[in-house]
Amino acid sequence: MNPAGNRFFLSGDAPRRSNMLVLGSLDPIFRSGSLMGMDESSKRRPFFSSPDELMIEEEYYDEQSPDQKKRRLTSEQVYLLEKSFEEENKLEPERKTQLAKKLGLQPRQVAVWFQNRRARWKTKQLEKDYDLLKASYDSLLSNYHAIVKDKEKLKSEVVSLTEKLQTKEWERVGGGIELVVSQKPDSLIPYASGAVMVDDDPDGMLGVHVNVKGEDYLSSPGSGGGGSDVVDEDGPHIMDSGHSYFAVNDYHGCMGHVEGVQSEVDDGQDNFSEVFAAAEQQQNTLGLWVWS
């Protein structure tokens, strides 16, 4: 007999965990040593031994009373079972019988071994899956933190740039003049809704296009029918937002903020009324004429 013999004793209507009681009744026999070698404890089998140790282990088991206690399978049995498990982790009845015969085990033992082996495999698989998921989570978390950091950095840049724009620290260099608007407030007077002009009449003409708080501030040459260049092509382009300006004959320095109209040279023929109206509608826009 073999350990499966326990099941023989326990078969039938034995209640769950009844093996505790049944085995308990057998325990004195086992523990007394009358059915097992008295010195068995000194012959402990290695946990997972190599095939080289088979002979030793077989000797070990040969000396035992075979059917009295739960025994571990020999490493050869385990090796063959493992090989069989690798081929197919489910056990068909025919294979179970063959394996049992080959290994000298009860078919029930083979079935139990496969059952327990599947449970171990499942546990390992869960651990692997957990590790993979954790690695994936850690990676995502790391990316998330990097993105949050970038976002904060960009946010502070936006704040910083906005502050610069609010204090009007824009410089325009070109046409022989340099104008820092915020430093020359007295030279500027509001001209009209959405427009600012310099209060002296220039000869040269210069268009300045200032962007404040995301709105375009435009400037263009003043009156006098002569054509005028706007922003010096060679000058800084930060003021050029692509919007257009209109020079005005009768309304000195006025401009409008008009989308989609291009005019690099003022020919003095533009309709100022339309332009002025457009400028007035641009409540958030200030035009700034600067000339020298």
Partner DNA sequence: TTGTGTTTTATTGCCTCC
Partner DNA sequence: GGAGGCAATAAAACACAA
Considering the complex, what minimum distance in angstroms separates the CB of residue 42 from DNA?
8
Binding mask 219-258 for DNA (x = CB under 7 A): ----------------------------------------
Contacting residue, 115, 142, 162, 284, with DNA by CB under 7 A: 115
How many angstroms separate the CA atoms of 248 and 87, rounded?
92
Which lies closer to DNA via its Cβ, residue 65 or residue 284?
A: 65
* 4 interacts with DNA by CB under 7 A: yes
Contacting residue, 29, 50, 116, 125, with DNA by CB under 7 A: 116
How many angstroms separate the CA atoms of 74 and 47, rounded?
10
Contacting residue, 101, 102, 122, 151, with DNA by CB under 7 A: 122
* 112 interacts with DNA by CB under 7 A: yes
Q: Looking only at residues 24 through 53 of this chain, which bind DNA when binding is defined by CB under 7 A?
A: 24, 27, 30, 44-48
Size of the site for DNA (CB under 7 A): 47
What one-letter code names the amino acid at 171? E
Which range, of 13-21, 138-146, 206-214, 230-238, touches DNA by CB under 7 A? Answer: 13-21
* 7 interacts with DNA by CB under 7 A: yes
How many angstroms separate the CA atoms of 189 and 40, rounded?
110
Which lies closer to DNA via its Cβ, residue 5 or residue 224?
A: 5
* 10 interacts with DNA by CB under 7 A: yes
Contacting residue, 84, 85, 103, 113, with DNA by CB under 7 A: 113
Which lies closer to DNA via its Cβ, residue 97 or residue 273?
A: 97
Which lies closer to DNA via its Cβ, residue 15 or residue 176?
A: 15
* 184 interacts with DNA by CB under 7 A: no
Binding mask 69-98 for DNA (x = CB under 7 A): xxxxx----x-----------xx-x-----
Considering the complex, what minimum distance in angstroms separates the CB of residue 21 from DNA?
8
What would the two tokens of residue 71 be? 């025994």
Rounded to the nearest 10°, the torsion over CA 111, 115, 121, 123 is -160
Listing DSSP states for the chain in one string gives --TTHHHHHH-SSPPTTHHHHHHHHHHHHHHHTSSS-TTGGGGPPPSS--GGGHHHHHHHHHTS-TTSS--PPPHHHHHHHHHHHHH-SS--HHHHHHHHHHHT--HHHHHHHHHHHHHHHHHHHHHHHHHHHHHHHHHHHHHHHHHHHHHHHHHHHHHHHHHHHHTT--EEEETTEEEEGGG-GGGEEEEETTEEEESS--SS-EE--EEETTEEEB----SSSS----S-TTS--TT--S-B----SSSTT----BTT---SS--S-S-HHHHHHHHHH-TT--EEEE--
* 19 interacts with DNA by CB under 7 A: yes
* 11 interacts with DNA by CB under 7 A: yes
Sites of contact with DNA (CB under 7 A): 2-8, 10-11, 14-20, 22-24, 27, 30, 44-48, 69-73, 78, 90-91, 93, 108-109, 111-116, 118-120, 122
